[in-house]
Amino acid sequence: MSPAKRWPIISLSVVAMFGGGNNEAGEISVSFRLGNISLEPGEIAGLFFTFPQIIFHEAKIKYKEDSLLERFLNFRVAIQNYPDLETLKRSIIQDIEVEIENENDDLTKKSLSEIIDFIENPKKLSFSASPSKPYPLGMIMRIQEPKDIIKLLNIKIRS
């Protein structure tokens, strides 16, 4: 793709189910809006080289729980020798609470609190990123601190 050429904003959505048959584990949906990207067959091969120039507008990830978290945590109980699932959950929540106490940023505190809510009552979890203005992916990828990415992209977590 020529650097001077601009493509329209595209919106993509994907929905995936975890598990199968009567043994569903959850559902995830992902949607995002990107600019300066071409999905034309002749341009796809150059996507890797133009990736940093793709413009990020917004993204949403929604997860609907139906036992995947419990399965994952039970697996962790087994391999890390926790006495039971509740002990592991309390340990994870205590670690997050320490992070909240040490955190100065209200948005980060709120996001961490939402993760605790999800661990305590796992039904759904969503992430949204809607920056005040679009940013090139190359710039976003150079940011080192997760807190800076959360602020820049205005990431919100809800349970």
pLDDT at residue 68 in the model: 87
> Is the per-residue pLDDT at 17 higher than 50?
yes
> For residue range 36-53, what is the model confidence (pLDDT) as tens digits?
887 777 777 777 777 888
For residues 159 and 16, the model is more confident at 159
For 140-156, what is the mean pLDDT?
A: 92
In the structure, what pLDDT confidence band is assigned to residue 121 with cuts at 50, 70 and 90? very high
Query: Above 70 in pLDDT, residue 21?
Result: no
Tell me the three state secondary structure of residue 95. helix
pLDDT at residue 41 in the model: 77
Nearest partner of 29 among 63, 68, 78, 58, judged by Cα: 63
Least confident of 2-11, 12-21, 48-57, 82-91: 2-11
Q: pTM of the entire structure?
A: 0.78
Residue 20 pLDDT: 58
Token digits of residue 49: 């080289």
Most confident by average pLDDT, 32-41, 68-77, 127-136: 127-136
- The per-residue pLDDT for 18 is 65
Task: Give the dihedral of Cα atoms 55, 60, 61, 63; nearest 10 deg.
Answer: -170
CA atoms within 13 A on the CB side of 42: 2
Q: Where are the domains of the chain?
A: 10-158
